[in-house]
Homo-oligomer: A and B are copies of this chain.
């Protein structure tokens, strides 16, 4: 049994004559005639009686019709879904990400991405960057976002790099500067990330290169926490200009020199082929980060 035969049969049952069915299917009348003859032969069912030069469906045809329509609709649904998968409207996107990005920026971007893709299932799992990396190897996720550096890098990794900016409270004397350097921050109370963080290490190097005193008054795990401390007047700080942007309301951001690099990585599965959808979203992220 072929799909084409069922299509011809359905159209013929609905519209009554072969000539009309042929028109609707944009084929010639003999094509319908022989296709139906084949269907009758293959199913062993007499579907129509030729009566007065016209066709009359048999009771068997009516019974068969119900099933034929059901099968056709299943096939048509399969076609539709193939298209949805192809255009990224159907699928699932399970993303593992570190805290700062998964709190605000990532969900906003995912929601935007999903807006034009109706059937999408979304999942966001928040873990620290090293756990994120480990989850990916167990194949549980379509995409992961981690901060660099990682203990062991992956082949399927795309790095996004930012230059951090200095953040000061509104009205702070340094808020007027075009660029801020360690010299400007000599002895100024400073909110930093933890000592183990690469940001900490880069800052320490920068201050020592300038011979300035780095007066660290607070250490935090996340930029977002640091933002809040700066906003509360603890001192000045440093922050990445994209991921942490949502937390910098009422703060002034200024370029910092020398460049303090903040790097995050998009990781795709290595064992298994990443889904088209994951690739698309990775591309979307790179454009919006």
Q: Which A residues have a C-beta under 8 Å from some C-beta of B?
A: 1-3, 6, 43-46, 49, 51, 56, 58-60, 63-64, 67-68, 70-71, 73-75, 77-79, 81-83, 85-86, 90-91, 142, 272-278
A49 touches B273 (CB 8 A): yes
Residues of B within 8 A of A60 (CB): 85-86, 91, 275-276
B78 touches A46 (CB 8 A): no
Of all chain B residues, the one with the shortest Cβ separation from A269 is: B59
Tell me which of B1, B6, B85 contacts A64 (CB under 8 A).
B85
A273 touches B81 (CB 8 A): no
A75 touches B71 (CB 8 A): yes
Among A3, A68, A74, A91, the one with the most B-chain Cβ atoms within 10 Å of its Cβ is A74
Of all chain B residues, the one with the shortest Cβ separation from A39 is: B82
A71 touches B78 (CB 8 A): yes
B1 touches A59 (CB 8 A): no
Of all chain B residues, the one with the shortest Cβ separation from A81 is: B67
A85 touches B71 (CB 8 A): no
B78 touches A44 (CB 8 A): no
Task: Give Cα distance in the complex from A67 to B90, angstroms.
Answer: 12
Tell me which of B46, B59, B77, B81 contacts A91 (CB under 8 A).
B59
Tell me which of B56, B63, B74 contacts A75 (CB under 8 A).
B74
Task: Give Cα distance in the complex from A82 to B74, angstroms.
Answer: 17
Task: Give Cα distance in the complex from A204 to B43, angstroms.
Answer: 56
* Contact A45/B85 with A58-B273, A71-B77, A275-B59 known, Cβ cut-off 8 Å: yes
* Contact A1/B82 with A59-B273, A60-B275, A273-B49 known, Cβ cut-off 8 Å: yes
Rank and list the top 3 A-B pairs by shortest CB-CB distance, nearest first.
A59-B275, A74-B74, A43-B82
Task: Give Cα distance in the complex from A44 to B85, angstroms.
Answer: 9
Of all chain B residues, the one with the shortest Cβ separation from A86 is: B44
Residues of B within 8 A of A1 (CB): 3, 75, 78-79, 82
Can you report 16 A-B residue pairs in the complex whose CB atoms are below 8 A from each other? A1-B78, A1-B79, A44-B83, A45-B85, A49-B273, A59-B142, A59-B272, A59-B275, A59-B277, A60-B91, A63-B90, A64-B85, A71-B74, A71-B77, A73-B74, A75-B75
Task: Give Cα distance in the complex from A81 to B62, angstroms.
Answer: 12
Tell me which of B2, B46, B73, B77 contacts A3 (CB under 8 A).
B2
* Contact A77/B67 with A273-B49, A273-B59 known, Cβ cut-off 8 Å: yes
